[in-house]
Amino acid sequence: MSKKDEVQEEVPERGSWANKTEFILSCAGYAIGIGNVWRFPYLCYRNGGGAFLIPYLLMLFLCGIPLFFMECCMGQFGGTGCITMFRMSPLFKGAGFAIVIVNLICTMYYNVIIAYPLLFISMSLRSKLPWEDCDNPWNTPSCLKIGDIRSTNKTSQIEGLLEKVSTPAEEFFSRHILQLSPGIHEMGGIVWPLFICNLISWIIVFLCICNGVKSVGKVVYFTATFPFVILFILLIRGVTLPGAIDGILFYITPKWTHLANLRVWADAAVQIFFSLGPGWGGIVNMASYNKFRNDNRMDAIWIPILNCGTSIFAGFVVFSVLGFMSHRTGLPVAAVATGGPSLAFETYPEALTMLPFPQVWSILFFAMLYFLGMDSCFVQIEAIISSVTDAYPHLRKKKHLVAMVSMFVLFLGSIVFVTNGGMYLLQLFDWYAASISVISICLAEVIVVGWTYGCDNFVRDVEFMLGKKLNPWWPICWKYITPTILTFIFITTIIFNTRITYNGVQYPDWAVGIGWCSALVSMLCIPGYALYFLIKKKGTLREKLKIGFNPTSEWGPQKQTDREDWKKYLAENTKTCDSSNVEIIKLTSL
């Protein structure tokens, strides 16, 4: 046995899912998040109701599913995480670093978002929900219980009144939960109740992922299925309320003229893209723990379809209750329909106060939000940890320590988001750090698969892995259709980018500059590393590019038996194979 083989034997194995169900539930939990509840329903009604489903489903099949399947195959074939997977085309390794940076930034504030439901749950244990009326110390003279608005008869007067007053739920969230400062220029001090919930959330997440896929695979049996149970319960309750049908009709009635608006198509593409979560490393990382011969084709189709179905289903849950709220207050549904955090933490909680036993419904709703967010958090953090242990395999023996140190650092970084001005900063990073940078990463991935590594080579590898031929539709998407749609998303995201505000407060120029820096710090990793690679390598530019485009000797199946079978398969099926050195397989040429 050679010294090289002895060293390889000393490196602990990465581990794998105990069964296929764990992978499917983890992917479903990752893809189906808070955005399915607070973003899609509002986007759907705003962009033409039922008509919005046409561009939405088109983008699902032309971009969402092909990207999801591509990342599943990249992870499963390479058996490695988001940085080391770019061994298939090392010039683009900077995209792997970009993935880690995006996850580092976004995980810090995302965990704070799922800390909000914990605080709401604790407040829901009281005999009376604290956002039911305006008799609390944090309420202002402009607070008006929305149920009292019905005494005003004219709709125009009601809508004018809403602009001047705030509801108990709005003041509870902004003045008690967030203890919001006047603007981002006043960050203030730590909001201690929120700090404690944030700490508790980090501890829960650590306990769930400390053993890697072994523990995550068991936890997701509950965390990925429980939200569906609650959604179904909330739907049954919602549709039995007076006015629910009006809300649902408002949600699904198609407005066909909206399809002529480019913004509608852009919103559909963006929603599919960010809902499924490609470009974050999560899909690649989860797939890397699959058995090498796992047939993932149907997984990559049904999980995105389940994600979209959940979004549509959540719309019925939301708008049935908003219809009831409209019925109770006399307001039109459009006046009470909101999206984003306002829907989850202001509008929907306000509607829950109008139900019998509101504490029960409040606990169910916020528990659902917490578990929806927690699954996404699992995968993002695991992607960060795996990128470290894949780069330094000897650390796999100390994965508990790596997880603890990583999450402690992330916790420290998240503290800034639980200050008085934390929500302003959270919105800023969510607006910039997780937008065009993630699209850039996906563009890098499809360029690698479709053009530098070569689509024919990638298809050959996948067919070897699955033992079955791929439908010609997949390479067509990877090479032409999906890159075109990603370019469309990138351009429209910039074109339709508006000045960021929160609660009507416009961000100053210096804050916008920080936001763009948070996007550029990850995006610039891609060209930055490529430049570093070309400078470091010796030879002519043509020779350097050839090395950068071709896979390294480490690319391929990680298990030795699979790797040997793959090399034999390459020798039989690849004319460009360098027979003098089977470790380095030249798959592309300039």
d(CA 525, CA 199): 31
d(CA 373, CA 45): 23
Q: How many CB atoms lie within 10 A of CB 487?
A: 13
**pLDDT 10s per residue in the chain (590 long)?**
444 444 444 667 788 999 999 999 999 999 999 989 988 998 998 899 999 999 999 999 999 999 999 999 999 999 999 999 999 999 999 999 999 999 999 999 999 999 999 999 999 999 999 999 899 999 999 898 876 665 555 555 555 555 668 889 999 999 999 999 999 999 999 999 999 999 999 999 999 998 888 899 999 999 999 999 999 999 999 999 999 999 999 999 999 999 999 989 999 988 998 889 999 999 999 999 999 999 999 999 999 999 999 999 999 999 999 999 988 888 888 888 888 888 899 989 999 998 899 999 999 999 999 999 999 999 999 999 999 999 898 888 888 899 999 999 999 999 999 999 999 999 999 989 888 899 999 999 999 999 999 999 999 999 999 999 999 999 999 999 999 999 999 999 888 888 888 887 889 999 999 999 999 999 999 999 999 999 999 999 999 999 999 999 999 999 999 999 999 999 887 644 333 333 344 444 33
Binding residues: 29, 31, 36, 275, 307, 372, 375-376
Whole-model pTM: value is: 0.91
d(CA 552, CA 87): 5
d(CA 171, CA 421): 16
Q: How far apart are the first and last CA of the chain?
A: 38
Nearest CA to 379 among 280, 302, 507?
280
Phi-psi region of 200 (alpha: psi -120 to 50; beta: other; left: phi over 0): alpha
DSSP code, position 210: T
Q: What angle do CA 341, 344, 345 make, to 5 degrees?
A: 80
Domains of the chain in sequence order: 3-127+193-326+378-556 (1.20.1740)
Binding residues for Na(+): 29, 31, 36, 275, 307, 372, 375-376
d(CA 292, CA 130): 53
Contacts of 23 by beta carbon, 8 Å cutoff, 6+ apart: 17, 217, 286, 287, 289, 290, 294, 299
β-sheet bridge partners, residue 506: 501
Residue 529, helix vs strand vs coil: helix
482 close to 66: Cβ distance less than 8 angstroms: yes
